[in-house]
Structure 1
Amino acid sequence: MRFQQQFNLLDSLTTSFLILGNPNIHVKRERVSKIEVPLDKLGVIKCWVEENEV
């Protein structure tokens, strides 16, 4: 799941956050690790979600 969220800071400055959220499954982590360097260069935040965690 991917989404982009924008926050307005000081009226003239807009910061974008790109977040890549996935379930904490070994196969998903393995796939993301193959493209980790480009994601880091783009500033994508990677999140791993545990089942039944709040």
Structure 2
Amino acid sequence: MKIVLKTHVKGKKKMKTLSMAHPNEDFLPEEEAQFVINSARIILRYIDSKMNRASLTE
């Protein structure tokens, strides 16, 4: 059982370093990451507001 758990933990650690779904300073510094996230939020809000207005006028 210990061997299975150790292997699982090692595999998860390795996948975390390879995954872009987890925070990674090597991929993008924090300030730039926040900029990208905030920009995406603004764009999505804009699209949402346009779609809501279009559906109200129909």
TM-score over 0.5 (shorter chain)? no
Scaled to the shorter chain, the TM-score interval is under 0.3
Greater fraction strand:
1
TM-score, normalised via structure 2 length: 0.23
Greater fraction helix:
2
Higher relative contact order (CA 8 A, sep 6+): 1
TM-score, normalised via structure 1 length: 0.24
